[in-house]
Every structure is written in structure tokens, then in C-alpha cells.
Structure 1
Amino acid sequence: MRTRHIAIALLAATSMALTACSAGSLGSSDDKGGDGKVTLTYLIDNGQETLKVAEQMVKDFTAKNPNITIKLDTRPQGTDGDNLIKTRLSTGDMSDVFMYNSGSLFQAMAPEKNLAPLGDTENIGQLDKNFTTAVTSNGKIYGVPLGSYMAGAILYNKDVYAKLGLQVPKTWADFMANNAKIKAGGVDPVIQTYGETWTSQLFILGDFANVTSADPDWADKYTKNQAKYATTPAAEAGFQHLQEVHDAGYTNKDFASAKLADGLRYLAQGKGAQYPILSALLSQLIADNPGSENKIGLFPIPGTDAAKNNLTVWSPNGVYIPATTTGAKLDAAKKFLAYIASPDGCTSQTTASTPTGPYAVKGCTLGDVPQAVKDMQGYIDSGNSSLALEFVSPVKGPALEQICVEVGSGIRKADAAAKLYDEDVKKQAQQLGLEGW
């Protein structure tokens, strides 16, 4: 299961089927009338939170730009939405502006053929480098960020840490030393929830910043079949981490059956001290456990070098302009994207929905957010973060979560799991037609 779809799955529980709707309507639907007004169509996915944010941003933007009207259209999420995007781009029938993924799925849109570059658009220079990496093709930037960063990290109970006198670990050795003290204190050190198998992947996926620190070119080599998990110690380390935590008896006893909601509850109540998970789950944790927003902190999955204690982040979605948008509409679309890529745009998003991660626009403030989000912001601001593998390589095997469950349950050893996963990714790479496979 791709982590892009993991993030979508988090929203699916609260999503509803939506028909095309409009917001900010101020004039005719003509390209540009004699009165100088322009109407744009803006395609978004049909998630409830997505719609709330889009409506607020359209309202705030059109209040400042009364000559521009923006009509919202919605599309399905998941594979159906992917197919719709590809079809509308290939037929030249795309909306004037649209929201879609960044990273490998951005590259799959053939941006140089199908999208308008944004080099002369205001505020492009204010975007965080992790995001621009995920929306750049052949040196040109094609998108602006919508939403906030998500991290693959370890959420921890600050009260447990304070009671036991623990410091946030910056190396794996420090992390394991903390685990020993936590277990001695009568608390489960590491929460695992294999009742929902996708949650098993974070020790691998969230560890990728450590792989990048060891070899900045690893993702490119991996994509070309020149590097593998089983033959790269820094990459295999994630599987080793899963095995070490299990073998040491540091997980909750019901790890095999516990589900996400259980894990979040254990963490909030201090029954478990640490939970490797996606930071986007903070919203569910706080909703299900009121009053926990400042009791939970966040730190990266530690590697071997304390000086390179970096956070693995998932880039926000992008907002793009198709190459079919021209003339006055193109000018208006670039103005809208410049607004999205500004502190005012961030404020508009925050008004609609409390962020669960830092924005990818310099100068944006988060306001009153959970402590873990503030922790994330520190890693972004200091430059101690890098993109998850799926944003720099299209290669990810479908069986990773099942393999991780086996390692984390003591069924399969880490080195054998790494070799098995290398075989698993080969199938997908060949289906994608990648060279070298």
C-alpha cells in the first residue's frame, strides 16, 4: 500500500460523495468579459477537509481579487481520481487549475508536456526546498503546496519521558537505552498495531532520512536498480530496527491484534511511551483523547549519527496549471497560485482546518497547534529534514506492510526480509518500464 494512499485513507473515513459545486462566484463564466472579469475552474478531490480548505481559500482570494471568479469541481480520491487526472490531461480537458499529488505521481503527469511552469510566478522563491524538489522537472517548478508536511516519525508521551528523566534520543543506541528504562518503569516502550498492517511500515519508511544522510544519491541508484535494501546497511537498518524492538520484548503484548485507535489511546494514556506512525494521525489522537495535544511530542526515527538527526517528511499535495490554460486565465491562475504560496494563503488554510504539520511556505505561522507539530516545525526550519522515498523514486513494492509485520512479529529475520522486499519491488519496477530492471 503506497503511503500516498495511506494519507488518503485517513481522510476517507470522514469523506463524502460530492457533486460539482462552486464558490466565490462573481460574474459570468466567460474567459474574460468586457468588464475584465475572469472565471477559473479549480479541480480538487472530494475529501471533506479538502473541500473546507478550498472554499475558504477561494472566499479569501476572491475578496482580494474581485475580478476573478473561481468555481470548484470535485473528483474521486484514489485510483479513480488518478485515472481521471491522466485522462483529462491527455485529452486537453483539464480544469484551469487543479490539485494533485507531488513526487512520483507528479512526474507521471509528464509535466513538461502537460503543465505550465511557474518560474515567473510571485512567491515561488518562498517555497521550502523539500517541496520544490517534489514538483520540479528538468529544472522547472510546476506546483505550489496545498496543505502541510506530514512526517514519518516517533510520537512520544512527554509525561512518561519526564517521569523517567529521559531525553529525546538522537541515535538508535540512545533510543534502545531509553526503551530499557521505560520497560523497567512498567510502561510498554514501543507501540505497534499490526491489526492494521499499514502501520507496520514506519520503521522502514520513516527511516529514509537516515538513508539519504548516508548516501544522498541512493534513491537515484535504487530507481536504476543499482542499489538495494539488502546490500545497503543504512537501508536495511529499518528492518533491523523492527527485529531488535521485537526481540528485546519492547512492544505491547497485543501488538498483533491492536489497531490504530488502540495505539493512539495507549500513547495518550501513557500505557505506551512511543509510537512510530505518521504525524497526520495527531488529529485523530487529539479528537479521540481530548486534552492530549500538548502531552505528545515528536522526534525523528534515530540513525547512527547524532549530528544527522533528520526527519523524514511527506510533501504536501501540489496545485498546478495545465498547459491548456492560456491568456487571461493563465494570468489569473498564476495570481491564485501566488496567493496559495503566501503567508495569507497559509492563514486561510489554517482558518479552515487546524494544520497537523508545518507549511512548505517560508514565513507562514502555525498559530495554536499541538506540541508535536511545533516539534516538526523545528526540523523543517533548521533544514534537518528530507523527503520520503516515494517522492524521489517511483519504486515501492506492494508487500512491504506484510513483510514488516513478519519481521516485527518475529516470523522473519531482518536480512531475509530485506532480500524478499528487493524481489517484491522488482515486479513493480518492471511494470513501470524503468530502465535497468
Structure 2
Amino acid sequence: MTFRPRSRGLVAFTAACTLALTACSAGSLGSSDKASAGSVAITYLIGNQEQDLKEAKQLTKDFTAKNPGITIKLDTRPAGTEGDNIVKTRLSTGDMADVFTYNTGSLFQAIAPQKNLVPISDQPYIGDLDDNFKKTVTAADQVYGVPSGGFMGGAVLYSIPVYTKLGLKVPTTWAEFMANNAKIKAAGIAPVIQTYGETWTSQLFVLGDFHNVAAAEPDFADKYTKNQAKYATSPAAVKGFEHTQQVHDAGYENKDFASAKVPDGLRMLAQGKGAHYPILSGVVADMVATYPNAAKDVGLFALPGDDAAKNGLTVWTPGGVYIPTTTTGDRLDAAKKFLAFIASPDGCKSLAAAAAPTGPYAVKGCALPADVPEAIKDMQPYLDKPGASSLALEFVSPVKGPSLEQITVEVGSGIRKAKDGAARYDEDVKKQAQQLGLAGW
């Protein structure tokens, strides 16, 4: 299952990014090839997408201004399989940069952190890292990374003017959500925007519903990984497929749902021609750039489940920044200072100066900018309230299948029933689980 939000480079909903395809040589983007006398130079490996470069340049600029004795030279790599191979090869050959960015969650575990990375659990800022994020960069009770950005939420973007006009309240249960949809349709507005012209967007009702699954079945991820639980037979997990079908069967989708693409969905929402858009919060910046009014006119709420008391947001964590074990001596000290800066309010401000946040930062004390869009502000209460947010399944289980987006398109188009879609996805993940050599498969 591949989730492609913006071009920003996040772990897939994965939020799989599509970065450029060539790597630069180490130091090619640095301010100088040689550190001045008495200083230490470290290298920082990042993705070679434009946004990655902007953020890295801003971070290194602000960090070195506070630490003039340290020089940071940027190195880049591609994304996807090619980039993964480069990271794994450089770690195994001892040729990794002094600091590097990489995925969190199951992909982080795949690079053997206990063998290849420097633990940072003893650093004073670790207590300031969000617990959801820490889970995704922890192995054997040791923390190994700091966040390279903000969270993304798998949620529902909604039209505030439509809600105001119709006197609607933000729903906290699926029944309330469907009742709102009925009133919206009666008013001649498309209740739920779907953009199956970009198939990755069809997965939201399933993957974004995982907070509700985890709330109802706390051990689902563990059992799912061991092949002891399945989407088709889990009363909680199958609901994502059922909700996808229900929205279609009720006629709540926009008429062009089969061909519409993300820009069409954002336009409909910003113009009030559609009321709800289930999507990742990573699209908000692009929407606001095109439709400035959306900064105030579009809000966000978590996908509702059955229990209002357990309503909460499914989140995708930012990537991590790590130090390999090959970084030693003065370079290790400098690298640790750099990670401490990234995991601080000053680091968050630096990232915000480079790009609008996709969601709240994973560092306590990092406030969102005052001018952040309303939809991004709406995420913060979920992260602030204990138990009101959960990691997406991909961060707590390595079991994934490649065909979910095609299956959810079929279910959301009336081609396949929910139970059949869930069973088909259960079969879809089997081969990948077997390739990983997971027990029970």
C-alpha cells in the first residue's frame, strides 16, 4: 500500500515520497570543503528532493550560526528502493555520513539500529519527544532518532462555511458523520469528496481508521503481525472497508469521484462545493497555496468511530535523524549537538522557516506558527490529549500489501463488497509477510 501525500518525503501511508533519482557526492552542497582551523566538520545525508534541501539548508544555517565551530556538509540520496539500498549499503560498509535522515517504524527496524546506530536515550531532550514518535525510533528500549518535521494526520478535512451554514457540529461518531452527510446532500452539496483518479487517496477510510481499531482491539497490531488477526474477521478492522462502502452506497460521493484527482478535491473543498475530504493533512499546504481562503475555511477532524469517548486521530510520524556508529570523537559530539538542536524549539522554528508544517511537531515546547492553517491547528488537541492519537498501523507492524489502494477503489466504487475487499487484502499481505520471514505466516 503506497500513500502519496505531497512531494514532501514521508514514510508512506506511507506517505511514500517520490524524490529525485541521483545522489550528490558528500560535501557537494556544503558551505566549504574544509573546516577552518579548530573546527569540526560533519556530513548530513538527506533526501535530494527540493523540500528536503530547503529544510536541511535552513537547519544547518541556523545551527551553525549558534555553533560556529561546527561545519555541516550536505550529502543527498534518492528515495524509494534505490535510496533504501544506499542507506543499507553505506551502513554495512562503514561509509555512512555522520548524521542521516531515514524512515521511522518498521523500516527503521530493518536497518539493524542496535548494530548500526548510536543510542541517544541518555540525552536530556529525550523526555521532550512525543511518545508516539519515540515508539517508532526505539529498539530494545533504546531511542535512536529525533524527528525531522511534524506529524501528519489521516483525517477528514471539512468546509467550515458549509458546517456553519447548515448548523452542523463536528462529529465524534460514525453515526453523527453520516447524519451530517445526509443534511449536506439535501442542501445540494457533495458530502464526501473522493479522488480515485489518484488511487492512493482511496485508502483513508481504512488506514486513517486505525486509531479506532487500536482503541477497540489494543492487541490488533501484534496479532496481525503474527497472522493471528485479520481485517475480514476483526469486528473493528473491517469497519474501514464497511465505511468506504457505506459512503458509496448512500450516494455521498462527488459525481466525478472515479476520475477526480487531488487538485480537484482540494478545489471542491476550498470552494465549498464539497463538504468532507478524507485525506492526509500533508495536502493542506498545497491547498492553501492555491486557495488562500482555505487557511481559515477548512478545518480537520479525526475519522469518527463507534465510541465518542475514544475518538482520536491516526498519525503518521515524521522521518527520523540518526547517528551511525561510525561517527566517533569530535564528530560524534558535534552530531549529538546537531540532533539536540533539531529536537528543540529552535529547531522547530528553523523547520517552520523553511516550510509550512504538515502538522504539530513531535517535540514538546514546539508551538505551531500563529499563521498556520486552521486544519493544522485542529490536529494539536488530539496530540495534547492522552490517548487521543495513535500511530498508523505501518509504524507498529511491518505487514503491508501492495494492492490496498486498488481494493479500496473497488469497494468505494461499488464493484466489490466491504467483506470481500477486506478478505482480498488479507490475502494480499500474505506474500509480503512471508518474504519478511515473519513467524506464523
Shorter-chain TM-score category?
over 0.9
Measured against aligned partners, the alpha-carbon deviations of 1:129-176 in whole angstroms (never above 9, x if no partner) come to 000000000110000000110011000000000000000000000000
Shift of 1:288: 2.1
2:309 to 287, 307, 310: 307
| Partners of 1:24 and 1:59 within 8 A in 2 | no
Answer yes or no: is 1:2 the counterpart of 2:2.
Answer: yes
| Partners of 1:62 and 1:69 within 8 A in 2 | yes
Shift of 1:2: 2.7
- 1:294 aligns to what SS in structure 2? helix
Matching residue of 1:380: 383
Matching residue of 2:394: 390
| % identical equivalent positions | 67
Shift of 1:25: 4.3
Matching residue of 1:427: 431
Answer yes or no: is 1:323 the counterpart of 2:316.
Answer: no
Matching residue of 2:208: 206
- Please give the alpha-carbon distance, in whole angstroms, between the structure 2 residues aligned to 1:421 and 1:157: 32
Matching residue of 2:35: 28
Matching residue of 2:186: 184
Shift of 1:427: 0.8
What is the TM-score of this pair, normalised by structure 1? 0.95
- 1:43 aligns to what SS in structure 2? strand
Q: Where does 1:124-273 land on structure 2 (aligned, <5 Å)? A: 124-273=126-275
| Partners of 1:8 and 1:77 within 8 A in 2 | no
Q: Where does 1:270-349 land on structure 2 (aligned, <5 Å)? A: 270-349=272-351
- Please give the alpha-carbon distance, in whole angstroms, between the structure 2 residues aligned to 1:323 and 1:121: 16
Shift of 1:24: 4.9
2:418 to 383, 403, 414: 414
| Partners of 2:2 and 2:15 within 8 A in 1 | no
User: How many residues are matched?
Assistant: 430
Shift of 1:22: 2.9
- 2:153 aligns to what SS in structure 1? strand
Q: Where does 1:338-377 land on structure 2 (aligned, <5 Å)? A: 338-367=340-369, 368-377=371-380
Gaps of 5+ in 1: none
Q: Residue type of the partner of 1:348? A: S
Shift of 1:48: 0.8
Matching residue of 1:405: 409
Matching residue of 2:7: none
Q: Residue type of the partner of 1:375? A: D
- 1:298 aligns to what SS in structure 2? strand
Matching residue of 2:57: 55
| Partners of 2:270 and 2:293 within 8 A in 1 | no
Shift of 1:290: 2.6
Residue range with higher mean Cα deviation, 268-277 or 347-356: 347-356
- Please give the alpha-carbon distance, in whole angstroms, between the structure 2 residues aligned to 1:328 and 1:313: 36
Q: Residue type of the partner of 2:24? A: T
Alignment CA distance shift 1:299-1:418 (3 Å): same
Shift of 1:90: 1.1
| Partners of 2:21 and 2:79 within 8 A in 1 | no
Measured against aligned partners, the alpha-carbon deviations of 1:49-106 in whole angstroms (never above 9, x if no partner) come to 1111111111111111111111100101111111111111111111000001111110
Shift of 1:122: 3.1
Shift of 1:328: 1.6
1:96 to 87, 94, 98: 98
Matching residue of 1:44: 46
- Please give the alpha-carbon distance, in whole angstroms, between the structure 2 residues aligned to 1:11 and 1:303: 32
- 2:279 aligns to what SS in structure 1? strand
Q: CA RMSD in A?
A: 1.5
Q: Where does 1:60-139 land on structure 2 (aligned, <5 Å)? A: 60-139=62-141
What is the TM-score of this pair, normalised by structure 2? 0.95
Shift of 1:26: 8.9
- Please give the alpha-carbon distance, in whole angstroms, between the structure 2 residues aligned to 1:259 and 1:17: 28
- Please give the alpha-carbon distance, in whole angstroms, between the structure 1 residues aligned to 2:216 and 2:208: 15
Measured against aligned partners, the alpha-carbon deviations of 1:282-330 in whole angstroms (never above 9, x if no partner) come to 0111122232111000001100100111100000000000011112211
Measured against aligned partners, the alpha-carbon deviations of 1:234-268 in whole angstroms (never above 9, x if no partner) come to 00000000010000000011111111111111111
| Partners of 1:23 and 1:59 within 8 A in 2 | no
- Please give the alpha-carbon distance, in whole angstroms, between the structure 2 residues aligned to 1:372 and 1:289: 14
- Please give the alpha-carbon distance, in whole angstroms, between the structure 1 residues aligned to 2:235 and 2:12: 28
- 1:235 aligns to what SS in structure 2? coil
| Partners of 1:26 and 1:68 within 8 A in 2 | no
| Partners of 1:40 and 1:68 within 8 A in 2 | yes
- Please give the alpha-carbon distance, in whole angstroms, between the structure 2 residues aligned to 1:392 and 1:75: 26
Shift of 1:8: 5.8
Shift of 1:410: 0.5
| Partners of 1:406 and 1:412 within 8 A in 2 | yes
- Please give the alpha-carbon distance, in whole angstroms, between the structure 1 residues aligned to 2:16 and 2:424: 26
- 1:339 aligns to what SS in structure 2? helix
Residue range with higher mean Cα deviation, 279-288 or 97-106: 279-288
| Partners of 1:26 and 1:66 within 8 A in 2 | no
Q: Residue type of the partner of 2:373? A: P
Q: Residue type of the partner of 2:77? A: R
